[in-house]
Amino acid sequence: MSASPRTSATPSTLSGRWRSPWVPLVVRLIVGGVFLTFGTAKLLDLDTTIRSVRAYQLLPEAVVPAVGSALPLVEVALGLLLVLGVLTRPVAVVTALLSLAFVVGIVSAWARGLSIECGCFGNGGFTNDPVPGYLRELAINGGVLLGCGLLLARGGGRFALDRVLGLVVDEGRADDADDTEDAEDAEDTDLDDPTDLPDPTPSRSTR
């Protein structure tokens, strides 16, 4: 009986998929898209955004209008830079810090018993049932933090403008090295597959 081919993914295969140059691109598009959505929604209704910042009761009233007006612009800028892959690692740091500030604000409002809407999508003010909104926004910002962590580790990837503009010189080499290593792993896997070994039974010659 011949051995059946192996179909389960090996650790090297899974690691190779994680090192794929497409991973940073997908993460940049998701995280950047979230911040572009947040910022655009706030820009479309600045009055509501300012009211949302005020509802958290964390900042002095004198700075609330300035923060409410500047926050959407910052979010749009960060989202656009991430989508394009410009200065990916520094932008990921700023994005993570801003997302962490959102988490702190939401947790603080929840702990103080404030019944307010997060304001992340341009909504704001008070609500009768804030818990679902709190949980949703915490989950979104938690995902953003994870994505920023990956971008800090991997950079913008092969398809980022960082590489085109010459802002990063090592990421492309790292991706190429990963591709070479993946190819070698695949070759080793094929050599180790018993189905690829020649049949030890000598063939009978015909006369």
Per-residue pLDDT of 130-182, as tens digits, reads 788 889 989 999 999 999 999 999 888 888 888 888 777 555 444 544 444 44
| Within-domain flag for 195 | no
| Within-domain flag for 201 | no
Give pLDDT, residue 111: 92
Q: Is the pTM of this model over 0.95?
A: no
Domain count, the chain: 1
Give pLDDT, residue 120: 73
| Within-domain flag for 79 | yes
For residue 182, the Cα-to-chain-centroid distance in whole angstroms is 23
| Mean pLDDT, residues 197-203 taken together | 54
| Within-domain flag for 186 | no
| Within-domain flag for 140 | yes
Between CA 89 and CA 148 the distance in angstroms is 8
For residue 129, the Cα-to-chain-centroid distance in whole angstroms is 29
| Within-domain flag for 150 | yes
| CA angle at 204 for the pair 199 and 207, rounded to the nearest 5° | 155
Contact residues for 163 (Cβ-Cβ < 8 A; gap 6+): 85, 156, 171, 172
| Within-domain flag for 42 | yes
* Nearest CA among 119, 144, 96 for reference residue 39: 119
| Per-residue confidence band for 69, with pLDDT thresholds at 50, 70 and 90 | very high
The Cβ-side half-sphere exposure at 150, using a 13 Å CA radius, reads 21
| Mean pLDDT, residues 16-22 taken together | 68
Give pLDDT, residue 22: 86
- pLDDT > 90? residue 189: no
| Mean pLDDT, residues 45-68 taken together | 92
**Of the ranges 48-52, 79-83, 155-159, 176-180, which one carries the lowest mean pLDDT score?**
176-180
Give pLDDT, residue 71: 94
Q: Which residues lie across from 126 on neighbouring strands? A: 116
Sign of CA dihedral 108, 58, 76, 166: negative
Q: List the domain range (segments joined by +) for residue 95.
A: 18-165
| Within-domain flag for 145 | yes
Q: What is the mean pLDDT of the chain?
A: 79
Between CA 54 and CA 73 the distance in angstroms is 18
